[in-house]
A and B are shown apart, each in its own frame.
Chain A
């Protein structure tokens, strides 16, 4: 595709509900990142994939958060038993290479999750 696509754009979940957020990276991009952005703040790293391998999940805030990229393209971020503090914008970014300083990351528009 032309850019990184995320769906849904908006999600309202009741507290305790499970949610799944989808990311379609730019075709052929090796690296895929998930970030969490609170209102008016900078994004914070959640997890990183190189192709289908999850090489870094140090930013996932709890074991309720799970991410996968089974075929090295589309990725899904799943949040189980959502809590109000999970409300945020979840950004997906992809980049063409597996690791080089200064490589540009292309961001999707994000999914705004509101837990009520």
Chain B
């Protein structure tokens, strides 16, 4: 069974601070995605990374996929209250037939105070 360990579980910061969320596994994933989920809504895709060592930037968000495709990080610069939400990493299986089944981490609940 492939597992994704996400940390920290909770993060409470002030507006303008930087933060990093980590997603680690002992297993290799063929791709890794980051989602953001707001209360009462389903997860919304932020980014997909597929190549080891890949770095993607989305405005103030920077995503990195580890060289061995076992870990990933999400860095937010100058956090804003609108960034508040549940952040989820999710991987798809490497090898065999993959139909896009997602294995999720436990999530990081981010609160950004004005």
Contacts and interface: CB of A to CB of B under 8 A. Distances in A.
- Give chain A's interface secondary structure class: loop
Contact of B103 (A45, A98, A102, A107): A45
A43 interface: yes
A1 interface: no
Interface residues of B, number: 29
Contacts of B97: 99
B41 A41 contact: no
A102 B107 contact: no
Interface of A: 4, 31, 33, 35, 40-45, 48, 50, 55-56, 91, 93, 95, 97-105, 107-110
Interface of B: 4, 6, 30-31, 33, 40-45, 48, 50, 86, 88, 90, 92, 97-107, 109
